[in-house]
Amino acid sequence: MSYQEYKNRLSKIADIAYTIALQGWDQETYMPEKGAEFRAQQTATLSGIVHGMATNAELGKILEELNKNSGSLSEKEKRNALRSLKDYNKQKKYTTEFVELLSRTTSECFQAWQKAKKASDFSIYVPSLTKMVDLKRKEADLLGYEGHPYNAMLDQYEPDAKVADLDILFKDVREQLVAFVKDIEGAKQNEDAFMYKHYPKEKQWEFGLELLKQMNYDFEAGRQDISMHPFTTSFSPQDVRVTTKILEDNLKSMIWSCIHEGGHGLYEQGLPASEYGLPSGEAISLGIHESQSRLWENNVGRGLSFWKANYKKLQSYYPENLKDVTLDQFYKGMNLVKPSLVRIEADELTYHFHILIRYEIEKALMEGKIKVSELSEYWNARYKEYLGVKVTSDAEGVLQDVHWSHGSIGYFPTYSLGSFYAAQFFSKAKEEVKDLEKKIEAGDLLPLLQWLREKIHKHGKFYSAEELCKTVTGEKLNFKYFMDYAKHKYSSIYNLKQVMVK
Ligand code: CO
């Protein structure tokens, strides 16, 4: 059995998987309403085919043998073969009955969530979410885990992530970030009303494209469209699509989604096409993926240097709205820190309290420490404690996110991991890319992209997240980098006196 044969099989699996992704992209962008029914059928058929191929007994044999006789393989090939065998064995643990039950429960749960959210009544959601949580606890047993059952859930989105490490990270969030946000709340507050004037969408669209071009997103290997929820999807590194959302009464929505998805897109475009279908041609994890979007969105896009390069242009698009808003006011306005109820509208600091709360809840659910029926109350108490806000409706509280209805437990922490990795990577980039901030000020983002390509993108999944972080920055993920970044930036924005951090 040869490596080539393994490669061919994985390439074929990828062909189908990317075709499913293409259907998904179409569904979110251009598919007419009536297309939904047969589209669901087409996707289900292809999903069945791809599952069959990924769990095919012959593939299992090829993988076993390849791993047994791996002496002649390169290090990269060895790692690919081992990762694929692990994935294969994991897939095999799912019985057809379990997959079907999960699929049925997901449909039921999603419908109940929609209904409950519309009525802002959590009790409607309780029976099916209870079923989902029970099923997820069974899934953890079926997959097996060391330590905490939540580890089995995390592993699906962030391979090798462990409760033991995340507990340390989120303890830092709870202790350091909560206190820092309190300091900010005590300072003189800034204004962002200008963000909510009328911003016609054609010009927003044009400005967004200019931002993507400046980021060196390759339009010959991608395109941008509009969708309800912005996302990035890829059919190969040579066809990576991003979407954005434009609100005429909120300039932030387009700017942040454009840069954020652009960051995801650059990662996908930077993966090696020669490794198509193989682990070495894939992203490492959701956390690392999110580190790429957030590095561009937060560390670059919400920075002063970036707007020194772009604010005049933006003003020229909307002279009436922005002629009296200075660069300094614009910068402070778009970096407003203010605890709020809804995660996706949160600023880059209080955002992590939203994740902290979901992390604590998911862990407790997996342990069986809290019941689904107690969630609304538990949620509201945590929002009061960490964010100081009173939740007045379930729709804006415990029902705000769709993830649990999809069975995605263990997903939320990857958002915070993304920001923390981003801060650590960006700190390293500043050391290694000569005059990085000056280049950003001049609108020259290529040196940063080249650094990311070289250090992160081109390796695909050769490294694990932890290995990558150590290789790129010299140490494993450390919350200190995010906290330093936050203190440095926001102490200046809010004129806080502070002990100087490096
Ligand atoms: Co993202």
14: left (phi over 0), alpha (psi -120 to 50) or beta: alpha
Domain count, the chain: 2
Pairing mode, strands 222-226 and 239-244: parallel
Q: How far is the CA of 66 from the centre of ligand 1 (A)?
A: 35
Same domain, 171 and 125: no
Return d(Cα 19, Cα 89) in angstroms, integer. Answer: 24
Q: How far is the CA of 406 from the centre of ligand 1 (A)?
A: 17
Asked if the model's pLDDT at residue 459 lies above 70, the reply is yes
Same domain, 263 and 191: yes
Q: How far is the CA of 244 from the centre of ligand 1 (A)?
A: 12
Q: How far is the CA of 404 from the centre of ligand 1 (A)?
A: 17
pLDDT in tens, 466-479: 999 999 999 999 99
Residue 36 confidence (pLDDT): 86
Q: Where are the alpha helices (DSSP H) in 433-464?
A: 436-441, 446-455
Q: Measured between alpha carbons, how far is residue 374 from residues 132, 149, 369, 396 in Å?
A: 15, 20, 10, 17
Mean of pLDDT values over 390-407: 95
Structure tokens at 266: 């650059």
Which position has the higher pLDDT, 432 or 48?
A: 432
Residue 117 lies in a domain: yes
- Can you give the C-alpha Rg of the chain in angstroms? 23
Q: Measured between alpha carbons, how far is residue 330 from residues 183, 308, 434, 482 in Å?
A: 22, 11, 27, 23
Return d(Cα 345, Cα 352) in angstroms, integer. Answer: 12
Mean of pLDDT values over 105-134: 95
Same domain, 120 and 240: no
Give backbone dihedrals phi and psi of 226, rounded to 5 degrees, phi first.
Answer: -105, 140
Same domain, 415 and 485: yes
Residue 499 confidence (pLDDT): 52
Q: Which residues are catalytic?
A: 261
Return d(Cα 254, Cα 207) in angstroms, integer. Answer: 9
% pLDDT > 90, the chain:
92
Q: How far is the CA of 436 from the centre of ligand 1 (A)?
A: 24
Give backbone dihedrals phi and psi of 223, rounded to 5 degrees, phi first.
Answer: -160, 165
Residue 502 confidence (pLDDT): 46
Q: How far is the CA of 231 from the centre of ligand 1 (A)?
A: 7
Residue 499 lies in a domain: no
Q: How far is the CA of 264 from the centre of ligand 1 (A)?
A: 7
Structure tokens at 365: 């659910």
Same domain, 128 and 232: no
Residue 147 confidence (pLDDT): 94
Return d(Cα 55, Cα 70) in angstroms, integer. Answer: 21
Q: How far is the CA of 63 from the centre of ligand 1 (A)?
A: 33
Residue 500 lies in a domain: no
Q: How far is the CA of 286 from the centre of ligand 1 (A)?
A: 8
CATH number at residue 446: 1.10.1370.30
Q: How far is the CA of 420 from the centre of ligand 1 (A)?
A: 13
Asked if the model's pLDDT at residue 498 lies above 80, the reply is no
Same domain, 61 and 171: no
Give me the chain's average pLDDT, please: 95
Same domain, 197 and 138: no
Mean of pLDDT values over 124-140: 97
Of 115, 144, 173, which residue sits at a domain end? 144
Residue 458 lies in a domain: yes
Taking the CA atoms of residue 452, residue 456, residue 459 and residue 460 in that order, the dihedral angle to the nearest 10 degrees is: -110
Domain residue limits at 98? 3-144
% pLDDT > 70, the chain:
99
Residue 155 lies in a domain: no
Asked if the model's pLDDT at residue 175 lies above 90, the reply is yes
Same domain, 106 and 192: no
Of 144, 179, 212, which residue sits at a domain end? 144
Sheet with 222-226: list strands edge to edge: 222-226, 239-244, 232-236
Concatenated DSSP letters of 232-257:
EEEEETTEEEEEE--BTTBHHHHHHH
Residue 267 lies in a domain: yes
Residue 331 confidence (pLDDT): 98
Same domain, 115 and 200: no
Confidence of residue 1 (pLDDT cuts 50, 70, 90): low
Mean of pLDDT values over 226-234: 94
Q: How far is the CA of 287 from the centre of ligand 1 (A)?
A: 9
Residue 422 lies in a domain: yes
Residue 151 lies in a domain: no
pLDDT in tens, 64-115: 999 999 999 999 999 999 999 999 999 999 988 898 898 889 989 999 999 9
Q: How far is the CA of 293 from the centre of ligand 1 (A)?
A: 6
Confidence of residue 228 (pLDDT cuts 50, 70, 90): confident
Q: Where are the alpha helices (DSSP H) in 239-374?
A: 251-270, 286-294, 304-317, 319-322, 327-334, 351-367
Asked if the model's pLDDT at residue 500 lies above 80, the reply is no
Residue 456 CA, distance from chain mean position: 16
Contacts of 476 (CB under 8 A, 6+ apart): 466, 469, 470
Same domain, 225 and 321: yes
Burial letters 140-165, b for 16+ CB under 10 A, else e: beebebeebbbbbbbbbbbbebbbee
Query: Within 13 A of 80's CA, how many CA atoms are on the CB side?
Result: 23
Residue 497 confidence (pLDDT): 78
Return d(Cα 134, Cα 222) in angstroms, integer. Answer: 41
Same domain, 47 and 183: no
Of 109, 144, 179, which residue sits at a domain end? 144
Same domain, 419 and 348: yes
User: Using CB atoms within 10 A of its CB, is residue 48 exposed (0-12), middle (13-18) or buried (19+)?
Assistant: exposed
Residue 60: closest CA among 45, 46, 81, 77: 81
